[in-house]
Amino acid sequence: MPEPEYEGEGAMSKTIGMGILGCGDYLRWEKGAIAASKRIAVRALFDPRAERARRYAELLGGEPAESADAVLDDPDVEVVCLFVPPWLRRDLLLKAVEAGKHVIAVKPLGPTVEECGEMVRAAEAADVLCCVQYRRTGNAVLETCKDVFEGGELGRLAIYRQDWMHHYPQWNDWATDPARNGGPFMDAMIHNLNTARYLMGRPVTHCTYFSEDFAHPDLKCNDTELMKADFAGGGTALLFITWAADLAVYSTEGNDREHVEVLYMVTDQGWRLTEEHRSGEQLIVASREGRERLFRPQALPATFYDRFAEAVETGGPLPRDVPDVRAAYEDVKLVRDGEANPGVRMAVDLSLVGQ
Ligand SMILES: NC(=O)c1ccc[n+]([C@@H]2O[C@H](COP(=O)([O-])OP(=O)(O)OC[C@H]3O[C@@H](n4cnc5c(N)ncnc54)[C@H](O)[C@@H]3O)[C@@H](O)[C@H]2O)c1
């Protein structure tokens, strides 16, 4: 997809100033949507690797800053993106919300339940919007699936089944470290745990978790993890990820890997839903007894950043395709509680720690 270019003149009409902390690989994925925003102007960027902040300042506008504090103290910055590794997020998020900045963070919220709990408390005590981006953010296919399930025409979502297989991350030194991030589930499958919870639209009641190592004793984490999450009123998510197979790595500069995926959903009326490409068109295909119904993903009305800006301007709720900080806390708690009770079907407790 061609990258939208930064439009210097358009920046004059942009009303919301944004600061970016962390100019690593995730910003590479986000830069197109940020550049395309009609309402948000990048004012300041910081990364301890100064050349990265300089490079993205040239691309997106704004000025490279001397420190994270310089961005957080900047009165022209209303929204702060925390695109840093998870183990660095808490201190920055606490400072940001204390300074009255709205926050766009990214999964996983933090490496420990305690740190995530602190972030929830601070964000909820402040009069700001605080969200955590996941893979479902800005995803038209998943938003259309949500509409279909809410509309009820195919019944309720009963089974959400997803497998991911790719090489372990090699573009940084923290992703495979459970103290700073986690294993494959915390690092990647947590995206799909959040999606499953969103699409089910009802609480998780029980969870069973497995974590094993099959091929990488050299890593600090296990290479294969599985969660079965059961939902109120029936319904289950089966989420499996493995880094055991050394699939292709196209570049160690960023997330550029061979990726194998299986995803299907089944409703309580026996419809199976899959995402398919037919004649170059992306479709959601629902099938039952050999009959098909096709759903075209409905394009989202604006970039995520513009929809977030609108929420800031109107004091409205967060866009639907992004969870708040508490939902992101709950994802981390599910994973960590599961890890502490491997193989046990446990009743889920998503309360905030320390309360
Ligand atoms: N890369 C992806 O494909 C991807 C996809 C989805 C989510 N994420 C999430 O995005 C977050 C960042 O991951 P990444 O892949 O960009 O990692 P990365 O290591 O490529 O980039 C992180 C950047 O943060 C910088 N940094 C460190 N300390 C900082 C500080 N105090 N202030 C500002 N910047 C600081 C680092 O120098 C680095 O440039 C993680 O939570 C990750 O899980 C990444």
Q: Which residue has the CA at smallest separation from atom 5 of ligand 1?
A: 26
Contact 187, 337 (CB under 8 A): no
Tell me if the domain spanning 10-136+306-322 has CATH number 3.20.20.70: no
The 10s digit of each residue's pLDDT in 142-157 is 999 999 999 999 999 9
Percent of the chain, pLDDT > 90? 95
pLDDT of residue 14: 76
Domains 10-136+306-322 and 140-300+331-347 share a fold: no
How much is the pTM?
Answer: 0.96
pLDDT of residue 242: 98
15 compared with 100, residue with greater pLDDT: 100
pLDDT of residue 60: 98
The 10s digit of each residue's pLDDT in 199-247 is 999 999 999 999 999 999 999 999 999 999 999 999 999 999 999 999 9
Q: Which atom of ligand 1 is nearest to the CA of 23?
A: 39
List, in order, residues 6 or more apart from 289 with CB less than 8 Å away: 270
Contact 184, 167 (CB under 8 A): no
The 10s digit of each residue's pLDDT in 171-205 is 999 999 999 999 999 999 999 999 999 999 999 99
pLDDT of residue 323: 98
Say whether pLDDT at 9 is over 90.
no
Query: Ligand 1 pocket test: which of 29, 83, 134, 171 has the largest number of ligand atoms within 8 Å of its C-beta?
Result: 83
8 compared with 104, residue with greater pLDDT: 104
Query: Ligand 1 pocket test: which of 26, 72, 255 has the largest number of ligand atoms within 8 Å of its C-beta?
Result: 26
Tokens encoding 76: 């022209």
**Residue 225 C-alpha to ligand 1 middle, in angstroms?**
23
Pocket of ligand 1 (CB under 6 A): 21-26, 29, 46-49, 52, 68, 83-86, 88, 106-107, 171-172, 255
Query: Ligand 1 pocket test: which of 30, 46, 47, 56 has the largest number of ligand atoms within 8 Å of its C-beta?
Result: 47
Say whether pLDDT at 2 is over 70.
no
Q: Which atom of ligand 1 is nearest to the CA of 68?
A: 32
pLDDT of residue 73: 98
3-state secondary structure of 149: helix
Q: Using CA of residue 334, residue 335, residue 340, residue 343, what is the dihedral sign? A: positive
**Residue 86 C-alpha to ligand 1 middle, in angstroms?**
8
Q: Which atom of ligand 1 is nearest to the CA of 175?
A: 43
The mean of the pLDDT values for the chain is: 95
pLDDT of residue 11: 45
Say whether pLDDT at 5 is over 80.
no
d(CA 157, CA 253): 38
Cis peptide bond prior to 108, omega within 30° of 0: yes
231: left (phi over 0), alpha (psi -120 to 50) or beta: beta
Q: Which residue has the CA at smallest separation from atom 18 of ligand 1?
A: 24
1 compared with 201, residue with greater pLDDT: 201
Quick one: fold of 140-300+331-347? Dihydrodipicolinate Reductase; domain 2 (3.30.360)
Domain ranges across the chain: 10-136+306-322, 140-300+331-347
pLDDT of residue 354: 81
Tokens encoding 158: 């009963």
